[in-house]
């Protein structure tokens, strides 16, 4: 199938079940993208002629109105006829990609044996992000952009925080461990992603593991700041043991400042019992699933962490009577390089 972008002289071909995005990248086209798994929305485009087939549901990344207007996620759309797409959204995103922001390292601290917290300070204009979004971090001349979720709300103070998993052979991990001294320069791309809270004051139920705590912390901070209506909230954190609970101090601080008395409940599910955590549950997340969702059947549910945990939790929730439109998911794929 031939895929043509309006206003561009060249077109390219897709083969079999190849997505629009994969075909574009194979052809060397300058097509914006982020997660490549249908979660961030950065690759979306509007089909103005021809037909495509969705590999899976575009919602909630695309709204019903956007789908009605012909928008698709290029990483999840397969051409079934020759296709023509509008270039307007692609051009806007490529222009935004060039508007990267300069920053320096403010502080780095260990959260767990495998996770670090990176706080940066913008040296010029700072981006405006929604809690739950991510940005590409790069080190000029050394490390190409790697996507990490903001772990702090946008406060307008020129600072941002990220929570980053260490990989022994990862170039960014090596830089963060060896060279990320205070004042070291890095570049921050434009915020992306559709993983964020809705304004309706539903109860909030969160499931997270590992660095999946990052967007959850940012969203909780926004609620504490008054950006969202106060609501009852339960946060379920799965970890190996206490030593692997990233962001524990920040979670406990947010619980003391929650706008509803005793309105933020922290539930820890630990697979090992080496260092006791008061009132923690032990074993596998699904050993306690009924207890974890009790009282939150009408909640908005945020799930963030490794793909296996996200998909299993999503399936468990659907089997427990939750509806798909209640669930907002963020699969954390490792940035190995």
pTM: 0.76
Q: Write the CB contacts of 12 (distance below 8 Å, at least 6 apart in sequence).
A: 2, 3, 23, 24, 26, 27, 29
- Listing DSSP states for 120-188 in one string gives EEESS------TT-EEEEEETTTEEEEEEEB-S---SSSEEEEEEE--TT-HHHHHHHHT--TT-EEEE
In a domain, 198, yes or no: no
89 shares a domain with 104: no
In a domain, 103, yes or no: yes
261 shares a domain with 184: no
115 shares a domain with 138: yes
179 shares a domain with 118: yes
Instruction: Residue 58: give its domain's CATH number.
Output: 3.10.20.30
pLDDT in tens, 178-195: 999 999 999 999 888 877
Residue 38 pLDDT class (50, 70, 90 cuts): confident
pLDDT in tens, 232-270: 999 999 999 888 999 999 999 999 999 998 899 999 999
220 shares a domain with 178: no
pLDDT in tens, 288-321: 999 999 999 999 999 999 999 999 999 999 999 9
Instruction: Residue 309: give its domain's CATH number.
Output: 3.40.50.80
Q: Which of 35-49, 116-130, 228-242, 274-288 has the lowest mean pLDDT?
A: 35-49
Average pLDDT over the chain reads: 88
Inter-residue contact 32 to 42 (CB < 8 Å): yes
User: Is residue 153 reached through a cis peptide bond, with omega within 30 degrees of 0 on the bond before it?
Assistant: no
In a domain, 226, yes or no: yes
| Domain boundary pick from 160, 188, 216 | 188
Structural domain of 281: 204-331
Domain total of the chain: 3
Instruction: Residue 136: give its domain's CATH number.
Output: 2.40.30.10
Q: Report d(CA 211, CA 142) in Å as an integer.
A: 24
| Domain boundary pick from 44, 79, 95 | 95
Residue 337 pLDDT class (50, 70, 90 cuts): very low
In a domain, 110, yes or no: yes
168 shares a domain with 86: no
| CB-count exposure of residue 256 (10 Å: 0-12, 13-18, 19+) | exposed
Which residue spans within the chain are E strands per DSSP? 2-5, 11-13, 44-49, 52-54, 71-73, 77-79, 83-85, 101-112, 115-122, 134-139, 143-149, 159-165, 185-188, 204-209, 233-239, 264-270, 281-282, 300-305, 327-331
Quote the pLDDT of residue 188.
95
30 shares a domain with 104: no
164 shares a domain with 133: yes
216 shares a domain with 301: yes
| Domain boundary pick from 79, 95, 111 | 95
288 shares a domain with 214: yes
In a domain, 337, yes or no: no
249 shares a domain with 162: no
Quote the pLDDT of residue 163.
96
The C-alpha angle 11, 60, 2, rounded to 5 degrees, equals 15
Q: Report d(CA 100, CA 149) in Å as an integer.
A: 16
123 shares a domain with 27: no
């Amino acid at each position: 199938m031939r895929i043509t972008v309006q206003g561009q002289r060249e077109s390219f071909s897709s083969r079999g079940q190849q997505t629009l995005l994969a075909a574009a990248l194979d052809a060397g086209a300058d097509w914006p993208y982020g997660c490549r798994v249908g979660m961030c929305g950065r690759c979306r485009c509007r089909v103005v002629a021809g037909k495509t087939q969705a590999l899976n549901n575009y919602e909630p990344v695309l709204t019903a109105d956007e789908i009605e207007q012909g928008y698709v996620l290029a990483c999840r759309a397969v051409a079934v006829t020759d296709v023509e797409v509008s270039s307007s959204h692609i051009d806007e995103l490529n222009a935004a990609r060039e508007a990267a922001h300069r920053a320096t390292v403010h502080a780095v601290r260990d959260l767990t044996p495998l996770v670090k917290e990176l706080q940066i300070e913008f040296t010029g204009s700072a981006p405006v992000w929604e809690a739950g979004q991510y940005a590409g971090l790069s080190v000029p001349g050394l490390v190409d952009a790697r996507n990490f979720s903001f772990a702090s709300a946008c406060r307008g103070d020129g600072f941002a925080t990220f929570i980053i998993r260490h990989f022994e052979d990862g170039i960014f991990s090596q830089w963060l461990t060896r060279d990320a001294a205070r004042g070291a320069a890095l570049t921050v791309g434009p915020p992306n992603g559709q993983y964020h809270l809705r304004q309706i004051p539903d109860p909030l139920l969160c499931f997270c593991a590992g660095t999946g705590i990052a967007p959850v912390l940012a969203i909780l901070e926004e609620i504490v700041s008054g950006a969202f209506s106060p609501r009852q909230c339960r946060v379920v954190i799965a970890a190996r043991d206490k030593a692997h609970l990233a962001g524990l101090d920040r979670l406990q601080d947010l619980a003391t400042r929650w706008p509803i008395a005793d309105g933020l409940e922290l539930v820890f599910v630990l697979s090992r019992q080496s260092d006791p955590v008061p009132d923690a549950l032990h074993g596998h997340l699904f050993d306690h699933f009924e207890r974890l969702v009790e009282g939150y059947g009408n909640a908005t549910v945020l799930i963030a962490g490794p793909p296996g945990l996200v998909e299993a939790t999503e399936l468990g929730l659907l089997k427990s009577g939750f509806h798909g439109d209640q669930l907002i998911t963020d699969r954390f794929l490792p940035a190995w390089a």
